[in-house]
Amino acid sequence: MKKARRWYLGVTGLMTVAHPVLPLDVRSVTYLLVSACTVVPLVATARSEGRGPSRVWWILAFAMSVLTAGNTLTTFGGPAWRMPSELLITAGHASLLVAAILLVLRRGRNDIGGLLDVSVTAIGLGGLVWTALIFPRLESLGTDTGEEAALLISVLVLVGVLGALIRVWKVAEVALPALVMLIWALLLALTGNVILALSTGTMTSGRPGWTEMFFLVAYLLLGLAALDSSAGELAREGPAPVDRLSSGRLVFLGAALAASPLVAGLRQILHLPADGLLLAFGTVLIVPLVMIRVGRLAAERRGAEAALRHQATHDPLTGLPNRAELITRLDAALARERLLGRPAVVLLFCDLNGFKDVNDRLGHTAGDELLTGIGVRIRAGLRAGETIARYGGDEFLVLCEEEAQAQAAHRLTTHIEHALAEPFTLAGRPVHASASVGAVISDGGSGAEELISRADQAMYRAKQRHHAAA
């Protein structure tokens, strides 16, 4: 890789340095050669990476191929190919944006919010620069609407790409020289396009020779980024930064959104031409991003609320419903049977035998593993609608609704015995567990606390029989 990098830097670097002093007709050739040479390291890196990371480099290679085609039409196509070359260059910039988005998605993983915020802000600021500087210049140069639209899209897309890459650099936990080179490449390309817009009103025809240096250095850096040792790491999954939509960030986003419409409105008030293209394209680009951002915030809030509900109703160790949730479900089951007029509730109270001895001999970690394993085994054999809950300590309750109450109580008691028959492996040794089970059935008029008390008493009698047998 180092040898390839030296060759690439030597060949393209020499052409880039010599470009300003070469004759005009030769400069056209060197410009195309540097552009085309950049595709080679991008393809080589794409072929050497795995299937996932290689996508970024394949898309970058495609983007540079499209840009090279656009530059070729600009150089040899003549005025008739002016608009197609503008469209190719715009498509190349759009492909760069896609590659940057994929890169951010892989490096940031859960940083969709950060990407959206940066994109909205960057596009808003780019629109402000367009409205305040570029659009008035295009009007004075008499640029036609098609070229103006292509230039506007390219500028906004490049600004979005640059913002996305800066976000990746900001959240990276390791040094990534390839990323720094990509950022500089995009910054140079953006600067070159803005200068072209201000000087000629177009990205293709009539561009001064010195402006080509911005793009040549950008192409050179893009190829060097692909050949850098950190290129592989750049396209792999990175850390997941915390997404905080703080008040300051919200204010900044609002200012970025409002800047371009405010400037356009001010120009209208001053009887200056307003840019309808920016309002149209800016809205098409920004509004979907804002809607996605709001949708993600709503989804995150729903997820947080669901997590809080689960935390409030489930035991943190075993993941089973806790005492409060068991009582809630038992109240609901008793209310249903009263409504139907047919007793159907069955409740089993399970208390482990010898659990304290496990804690004393093997430690509390082993005891926690035993409680979790028992919950898993018992829950695995329950039917839909049946509940096992951790009532507290080493106590579990099983709730069932079935009109054949006696048969259901026998089925569940047998299931618990079979579930605990096989030993558990704790601290590297087999441990046998058993439980004293008290089963009760509702008579249609009992409340939740009364039914639990009866089940507790039945369990206590079962435990006495267990001790007597022991």
Contact assessment for residue 96 and residue 60, using Cβ atoms and an 8 Å cutoff: yes
Q: Render pLDDT for 377-391 as a digit per residue (tens, 0 to 9).
A: 999 989 999 999 999
- With 90 as the cut, is the pLDDT of residue 230 above it? no
Residues 374, 264 share a domain: no
**Nearest CA-CA partner of 434 in 359, 372, 354:** 354
Residues 259, 221 share a domain: yes
Residues 102, 7 share a domain: yes
One DSSP character per residue, 150-204 reads HHHHHHHHHHHHHHHHHHHHHH-SS--HHHHHHHHHHHHHHHHHHHHHHHTSSSS
Residues 127, 58 share a domain: yes
Domain boundary among 244, 274, 309: 309
Residues 171, 58 share a domain: yes
Mean pLDDT of 169-187: 84
Say how many Å lie between the first and final Cα of the chain, rounded: 74
Mean pLDDT of 189-197: 79
**Would the pTM of this model clear 0.75, i.e. be above it?**
no
Mean pLDDT of 136-152: 76
**Nearest CA-CA partner of 71 in 219, 184, 226:** 219
Q: Check residue 419 and report its DSSP letter.
A: H
Residues 351, 296 share a domain: no
- With 70 as the cut, is the pLDDT of residue 240 above it? no
- Name the token pair of 181: 């080179």
Residues 331, 247 share a domain: no
d(CA 448, CA 423): 34
User: Across the chain, what does the average pLDDT equal?
Assistant: 83
Mean pLDDT of 37-41: 90
**Per-residue pLDDT at 50:** 63
316 domain-assigned: no
Helical residues (DSSP H) of 109-144, grouped into ranges: 112-129, 135-141
d(CA 169, CA 238): 11
- Name the token pair of 158: 């490049």
317 domain-assigned: no
Q: Which of 128-132, 317-321, 424-428 has the lowest mean pLDDT?
A: 128-132
318 domain-assigned: no
98 domain-assigned: yes
Amino acid at 345: V
**Domain membership of residue 448 as a residue range:** 323-469
d(CA 300, CA 293): 10
Residues 365, 248 share a domain: no
Which comes out higher in pLDDT, residue 80 or 186?
Answer: 186
Residues 333, 246 share a domain: no
**Nearest CA-CA partner of 82 in 29, 31, 134, 147:** 147
**CATH number assigned to the domain comprising residue 383:** 3.30.70.270
Q: Which of 84-93, 232-241, 248-257, 320-329 has the lowest mean pLDDT?
A: 232-241
Domain boundary among 309, 337, 359: 309
**Per-residue pLDDT at 378:** 95
Mean pLDDT of 342-358: 93
Residues 349, 298 share a domain: no
97 domain-assigned: yes
Domain boundary among 247, 277, 309: 309
Bridge partners of 346, per DSSP, are 400, 441
- Name the token pair of 45: 């890196």
209 domain-assigned: yes
Neighbours of 51 (CB within 10 A): 6
Q: Render pLDDT for 273-315 as a digit per residue (tens, 0 to 9).
A: 666 666 667 667 777 777 777 777 788 788 888 989 999 999 9
381 domain-assigned: yes
Mention every residue, 6+ apart, whose C-beta is less than 8 A from residue 469.
none
d(CA 203, CA 82): 10
Residues 177, 245 share a domain: yes
**Per-residue pLDDT at 106:** 73
Confidence of residue 442 (pLDDT cuts 50, 70, 90): very high
**Per-residue pLDDT at 96:** 76
d(CA 364, CA 356): 9
Residues 425, 278 share a domain: no
315 domain-assigned: no
- Structurally, the chain folds into a number of domains equal to 2
Q: Render pLDDT for 92-126 as a digit per residue (tens, 0 to 9).
A: 877 877 887 777 777 766 677 777 777 777 777 77
